[in-house]
Chain A
């Protein structure tokens, strides 16, 4: 009997009469299909392995450090001492690991480019920063080297710039006295296209969906979802400054001074707390400005407790912390500080969002 046949026979012997019943057999095939349909988080697998290897390395170092002291003891005592040392090291690493849990923003420093900027955004890969001035769109790398400059048509105001998640374009808003226009500019060729326009109602606050097919905007005091490829436009509801989650399932908006999260699919609404300028960082973490704390706070809206974690940015910037934009992987961020009503300052930094 071959190895494969032996394994099949072993499984048959292990199986019960129920499982050999043909009516149940279909159910078993279905259960196997369902098992395979449950996806594995390979990113977690990779990340966790690195952490475990680091921990094992530390445990190994602790073992080596102990060897000269215990050389003269009996084997039994040596094992006990080694075990205690290992456990102590693991506990210390676990405590350190637990203190590192939770979101954090680090290494904040001013972006070296100076000017009168209206808005800024970070590219999805975290390698470029786009700055919106009244005259142009300026693209820089994160060290401050200019990559491109795209002049804008004359108008009274500019408002909001947002990188497309696909990385090639950026959307921005031009306004004059009666008309608001949303444009998208190709950051490498400079070609521009008009996405949407509206008369007699101001448009502000741009937020792309993660597939680049939609823009969520504030039109007056209403939230709208606009197609970037057609004339389709959908009214979402009342609110300000929309931010859509990367998965597209949840929209964070401001209503009456509170941050509220809407679920488009389930048609559910959840109040998060008093605040403004909410931004999704990833599918789990939402960041917004808490005026009581004068700081940005992070919250996981899908947890029952919606515990707010302050990011500790108050006092680290010139002015109050404003919007926070992150790269797709969450490791790079830019922070916009509001020094006064008309001026922003830009900071770069790193972050983690566990």
Chain B
């Protein structure tokens, strides 16, 4: 389903054909697989649901625009999450340029998006997600990036390292410190 925008297999690049990790799925299949993870990741990072959904749209529009540049020898997850992470960073810069005034709210409602919405269950989860978001805000930027990509983007350490342009050992250390710090913050609130 959908048009395949594929690089041509040619005799000039025998490695591409022989490499076991070569990604040969077309864009629409990759979209179907990665939309949920990207949307969830951005919704976990951006408090305003509509902004998160707008960013999701931007990510996939950019991905389609640049799909011809994607090297299929590399994992698609790292590539798309790099776009998502950079889009999020651009968004953060804009939000900092035009900060919300005190007294104005920046809310997003989950209510009209989830087909399986159960008010009581979602209220409890919403509170917990909000609490986690609050605690994550107390970590360093690097720790937030690594933990969000790891646990909300569901990426492996090697993929997180690729997205952030860091070494794997650096990502492990940041993740280690971030988790320890988060654990302490939960314990301080009596929720550890």
Q: Can you list 12 A-B contacts with CB-CB less than 8 angstroms, sorted by A residue number?
A: A24-B180, A35-B151, A39-B114, A40-B35, A44-B53, A48-B56, A49-B35, A60-B3, A83-B68, A247-B109, A270-B104, A270-B105
B36 touching A45, Cβ below 8 Å: yes
Residues of A within 8 A of B28 (CB): 49, 52-53, 56
Nearest-neighbour CB distance to chain A for B83, whole angstroms, equals 14
User: Can you add 8 more A-B contacts, CB < 8 Å, to A28-B179, A35-B44, A302-B105?
Assistant: A18-B180, A27-B186, A40-B43, A42-B115, A44-B39, A52-B2, A300-B50, A304-B101
B3 touching A268, Cβ below 8 Å: no
In chain B between 67 and 126, which residues have their CB closer than 8 angstroms to a CB of chain A? 68, 98-101, 103-115, 117, 122, 125-126
Docked CA distance A268–B49 (Å)? 19
Docked CA distance A248–B110 (Å)? 12
A16 touching B172, Cβ below 8 Å: yes
Known: A23-B183, A35-B151. A56 touches B27 (CB 8 A): yes
Q: Is B152 an interface residue (CB 8 A)?
A: yes
Q: Is A43 an interface residue (CB 8 A)?
A: yes
A56 touching B64, Cβ below 8 Å: yes
Residues of B within 8 A of A14 (CB): 156-158
Interface of B is mostly: helix
In chain A between 30 and 47, which residues have their CB closer than 8 angstroms to a CB of chain B? 30-35, 37-45
Docked CA distance A246–B122 (Å)? 17
Residues of B within 8 A of A118 (CB): none
Docked CA distance A87–B65 (Å)? 7
Q: Is A106 an interface residue (CB 8 A)?
A: no
Residue-wise, chain B 143-181 has the 8 Å CB interface mask toward A (1 for contact) of 000010001101011100000000000001001100110
Q: Is A97 an interface residue (CB 8 A)?
A: yes
- Our pick among A34, A86, A247, A283 for the contact of B68 (Cβ within 8 Å) is A86
Nearest-neighbour CB distance to chain B for A249, whole angstroms, equals 6
- Our pick among A18, A32, A268 for the contact of B179 (Cβ within 8 Å) is A18
Residue-wise, chain B 3-35 has the 8 Å CB interface mask toward A (1 for contact) of 101000010000000000000000110011001
Docked CA distance A300–B48 (Å)? 13
Docked CA distance A97–B111 (Å)? 27
A38 touching B44, Cβ below 8 Å: yes
Known: A27-B182, A37-B129. A249 touches B2 (CB 8 A): no
Question: Chain B: how many interface residues by the 8 Å CB criterion?
Answer: 65
Residues of B within 8 A of A53 (CB): 2-3, 28
B129 touching A41, Cβ below 8 Å: no
Residues of A within 8 A of B158 (CB): 14
B109 touching A249, Cβ below 8 Å: yes
Docked CA distance A268–B129 (Å)? 22
Q: Is A57 an interface residue (CB 8 A)?
A: yes
Residues of B within 8 A of A87 (CB): 65
Q: Is A19 an interface residue (CB 8 A)?
A: yes
Residues of B within 8 A of A94 (CB): 61, 65
Q: Is A152 an interface residue (CB 8 A)?
A: no
Q: Is A263 an interface residue (CB 8 A)?
A: yes
Known: A49-B31, A263-B105, A270-B104. A16 touches B175 (CB 8 A): yes
Most buried by B among A26, A44, A268: A44
B64 touching A246, Cβ below 8 Å: no
A59 touching B5, Cβ below 8 Å: yes
B176 touching A283, Cβ below 8 Å: no
In chain A between 86 and 115, which residues have their CB closer than 8 angstroms to a CB of chain B? 86-87, 90, 94, 97
Q: Is B128 an interface residue (CB 8 A)?
A: yes
Q: Is B57 an interface residue (CB 8 A)?
A: yes
Residues of B within 8 A of A86 (CB): 68
Q: Is A2 an interface residue (CB 8 A)?
A: no
Docked CA distance A37–B126 (Å)? 8
- Our pick among A247, A300, A304 for the contact of B112 (Cβ within 8 Å) is A247
A18 touching B109, Cβ below 8 Å: no
Docked CA distance A59–B65 (Å)? 10
In chain A between 54 and 82, which residues have their CB closer than 8 angstroms to a CB of chain B? 55-57, 59-60, 75
Docked CA distance A35–B125 (Å)? 10
B98 touching A18, Cβ below 8 Å: no
Docked CA distance A27–B106 (Å)? 28
Give B180's nearest chain A residue, CB to CB: A18
Nearest-neighbour CB distance to chain B for A214, whole angstroms, equals 15
Residues of A within 8 A of B147 (CB): 31
A38 touching B113, Cβ below 8 Å: no
B103 touching A268, Cβ below 8 Å: yes
Nearest-neighbour CB distance to chain B for A226, whole angstroms, equals 21
A39 touching B110, Cβ below 8 Å: yes
Nearest-neighbour CB distance to chain A for B16, whole angstroms, equals 15
Docked CA distance A32–B153 (Å)? 11
Give B49's nearest chain A residue, CB to CB: A41
Give A86's nearest chain B residue, CB to CB: B68
